[in-house]
Amino acid sequence: MQPFTPRNTALLLIDHQVGTMQLIRNIDRNLAAKQAVDLAKMAKILGIPTILTASQEDRAQDPLLPELSSILPDAYAARIKRPGVVNAWAYPAFKAAVVATGKKNLIMAGVTTDVCLIFPAIDAAKEGFGVQAVIDTSGWQEQLFLNAPQALAGKRAPEQNQDRQRIEKLEQKIRQKDEVLAELMVEHVAPKEELGEL
């Protein structure tokens, strides 16, 4: 995998919707929302293409966080509206939008770690994309697991453990927001007023 830089990376924000944020139980929902918004700000500052997607905005999931529309208005207008497909990668319009960026490194954040984030991360990695799954922009519907890759494998029913090896391959790619920022900022120094409070 090549190092992640602003030139070879796209940001994917998956299902950071007002209603869906209520599913987060293991960390402060406001913190998870702030971290997702910070990633959007980072993408804007560094010129990283961003794909936003939401599932069933007209139902209990509600629209995407309103901050995303003000930070990334073009990405928000072009967001991929899924009709309930849980794995965003399995929805052809989402995958096509990602491929159209031409980027082989993907920073992914999904509102729930065990559903919105892990399934598209596994599928993208399986297809040869470099993936960094940002763990602190999402949450679990239960208590935080200290060792996410093993926890993800353990959450599956025994007959579903065929994904265990793929999850373990992601182990070195599960990051916190600040780790992602640090890696991307190696080549970019921005004035403090441009960065704001990330």
Residue 8 pLDDT greater than 50, yes or no: yes
For residue 134, what are its two tokens?
Answer: 């940002």
Q: What are the tokens at 24?
A: 């987060």
Query: Are 9 and 184 contacting, i.e. CB atoms less than 8 angstroms apart?
Result: yes
Whether residue 6 lies in the annotated active site: no
pLDDT, mean over the chain? 75
Q: Which residues pair with 64 in a beta bridge?
A: 17
Q: CB neighbours (10 Å) of residue 14?
A: 31
Of residues 158 and 149, more confidently modeled: 149
Residue 195 has pLDDT above 60, yes or no: no
Tokens of 35: 């971290």
Q: How confident is the model at residue 119 (pLDDT cuts 50, 70, 90)?
A: confident
- Provide the whole-model pTM: 0.77
Between CA 74 and CA 97 the distance in angstroms is 13
Residue 89 carries which DSSP code? G
Q: Which of 55-64, 94-103, 128-137 has the lowest mean pLDDT?
A: 55-64
The larger pLDDT score, comparing residue 149 to residue 134, is at 134
Q: State the catalytic residue, choosing from 12, 116, 131, 148.
A: 116
Helix (H, G, I), strand (E, B) or coil at 80: strand
Taking residues 151-161, what's their average pLDDT? 45
Averaged pLDDT for residues 88-113: 92
Least confident span in 49-53, 153-157, 169-173: 153-157
With 80 as the cut, is the pLDDT of residue 63 above it?
A: no
H or E segment at 12?
strand 9-14
Q: Which domains does the chain have, with CATH numbers?
A: 9-186 (3.40.50.850)
Higher pLDDT, 51 or 143: 51
What's residue 133's pLDDT?
A: 84
